[in-house]
Structure 1
Amino acid sequence: MRSTPTGRQLRLGAELRKLRERAGLTSTEAAQLLGIKQNQVSNMEAGRHGVSPERVRTLACHYKCSDAALVQALSDMTADRKRGWWGEYREILPTALLDLAEVEHHARRLRAAVTVHIPGLLQTTDHARELFRQVVPEFSPPDIEHRVSFRIKRQAVLFRDAPAPYLAIIHEAALRMRFGGTSVVKGQLQHLLDMSERDGITLKVLPFAAGSFSGSGQSIFYSSGPVPQLDTVHLDQSHGPVFLDAEAQLDTYRVLLDRLESLTLGPEQSRDVIHRLLNDL
């Protein structure tokens, strides 16, 4: 029995519960079909009890789920039992941050849209440190360093042999923010240019000239799973990331990101904007 299931384990349980509810079955009825106790079903759906691939397929059969791709994706989620690097921070950082790293690690595609801050996966150490220094209530120096190191380790997803495609939509306002002074800003802008040249990374600037747009003021991060039903939206809030995975929410943010991307400059034009800003410093 798990006392503290990870975000991925919680998500698997939640998806199993959705399948059961769509089948119109109570947890007691599901338990009777499986020949187990009702509390075992509840614990599986709460992520507190492990589930085997075979049991996932059995549940899908009883729930009359004919979506083979979804069933396979859920089965695959049960097979990954390795402890991720983020586990090292379990007693140090909030659980939501660990869940964010886990989601990014397993994502098949990543998209970000930000209006004030540079996306975390593209921040330099100095830029990230300056941001954490501005948090209210203030973090202690050790807390700042823990968060900085965690943020930089998250960026490993962009340096794997076959990284998930990553699209970063950055508003011109974020590029003009002077976090940390001129030297830090220069380093951050140059880092964006360098990262934009890497395979799998697409950086697009949303210029002031685009005018008003849907979702302004939000920082949106979208992680695509192996099937659309397992996508995740994470919104960056002052108290930490908030995760959304209801189908209606996913549909909304897919449309929102598509609209934002339609307003952006192309990759080459976006690099030109960053070059000009860098040269003006």
Structure 2
Amino acid sequence: MGLRSNVSQRQRRLGQELRKLREAAGVPRSEVCRRIGIHTPHLSNIEAGRTACSEARLRALADVYGCTNKALIDALAEMSNASGKGWWTAYAKSMEARVIDLAELEHSATAHRSFEWLYVPGLLQTPDYMRCLFTRTSPAAPVEVIEEYVNFRLRRQQVLVEEPLPAYHAVIHEAAFHMKFVDREVMLGQLEYLVQLAQFPNITIQVLPFSADAHPATPGAPYTLLDAGVAELCTVHVEQPVASVFLGDSTHIDRFATDFSRLSSVSLASLDLTGHLGEGSLGLVHHLLYLMKEGKHAGP
């Protein structure tokens, strides 16, 4: 079997996890290869995600490493057996590899925790909001290219309403609603859409207001924590201007999870209809809607 020329995030992560197990066990690479009957370069390619690892071989490796975590082994086997093909495959030639990887990762995630400074999170955006952002980002792009971006993001959003429903929790800084990236009417529609989305039982939306007394230190880039069936396979997706970063180390996961909990704790109550109209995230959003409709808002 030849080596892969393009390694997906799932394939890369599978190799990384197998390498972690080997290093934790302290078994020399040469000994591993002798016991399962492969050459050292083959094992190196498996750990780099450049070649496939069958379920039988994966379980043999786990046995050599003395791994008794059945849930983890089963989850790794599922990753190994996955074809990587889904609705996103149709966009492989028109979209960057990083967004294809993100779509596949979102598809398998059991929960999403997202923090955004300046934008509404992609999975919560209206089509008009998307078009404004894509057009501002790529002003020379043809209309059909912009529509391809919009269609791809709209398809990604279906993950929030497809069974099994994942838990989705977003913390959005109030600054996102004051930026002039989009027109006033577009922002009005976006805010109204957030109120609608917040009524779904699996979606929680909070606003971090300018007035928050405490503001925990947090990375400058927006990020999303994507939970997996087992804690060891959780991932942080950090958005960067040029290239997204996928982090799977437990230290990074713990840090971002702690940051998200602190951000949530100083944010306004959830954007839903269970509280009083003038309170929490719902109250702030309705206040912004009123000001925009009256033409008094200094934002978009």
AA in 2 matched with 1:192: L
Larger deviation, residues 86-95 vs 104-113:
86-95
Counterpart in 1 of 2:125?
123
- Candidates 246, 256, 259, aligned match of 2:259: 256
Change (3 A) 1:46 1:207: same
AA aligned opposite 2:114: A
State the shift of 1:171 in Å: 1.0
Deviation at 1:90, TM superposition (A): 1.4
Between the aligned partners of 1:195 and 1:158, the Cα distance in structure 2 is 10
> Matches of 2:235 and 2:247 in 1, distance apart?
6
Pick closer, same or farther for the CA change 1:74–1:49 going to 2, 3 Å: same
Runs of 4+ off more than 4 Å = none
Contact map agreement 1:193 1:271 (CA 8 A) in 2: yes
Q: Larger Rg: 1 or 2?
A: 2
In 1, the alpha carbon distance for the partners of 2:191 and 2:56 equals: 49
Deviation, 1:82, is: 5.4
Structure 1: segments with no counterpart, 5+ residues? none
| % identical aligned pairs | 39
CA offset digits 1:59-110 (Å, max 9, x no partner): 1110112222211211121222251111112121111111111111100110
Query: Cα deviation per residue 1:253-276 (whole Å; 9 max; x = unaligned)?
Result: 111111111111111421221122
Greater share of helix residues, 1 or 2?
Answer: 1
Structure 1 residue aligned with 2:276: none
Cα 1:137–1:21, aligned 2, differ >3 Å: closer, same or farther? farther
AA partner of residue 21 (structure 1): E
Query: Which range is displaced more, 145-154 or 8-17?
Result: 145-154
* Alpha-carbon shift at residue 136 of structure 1 (Å): 6.2
- Equivalent position to 2:285, from 256, 274, 279: 274
Equivalent of 1:227, from 223, 227, 230? 230
Preserved contact between residue 115 and residue 216 of structure 1 (Cα < 8 Å): no
CA shift for structure 1 position 185: 0.8
CA distance in 2, matches of 1:178, 1:135: 13
2:84 and 2:104 in contact (8 A); partners too: no
Partner of 1:19: 21
Q: Indicate conservation of the 8 Å contact 2:112/2:166, yes or no.
A: yes
Corresponding residue SS for 1:147: helix
Number of residues of Structure 1 aligned to a counterpart in Structure 2: 281
Q: Aligned with 1:208: secondary structure?
A: coil
Using structure 1 for the length normalisation, give the TM-score.
Answer: 0.94
The question of whether the paired residues in 2 share the 8 Å contact of 1:97 and 1:240 is answered with: no
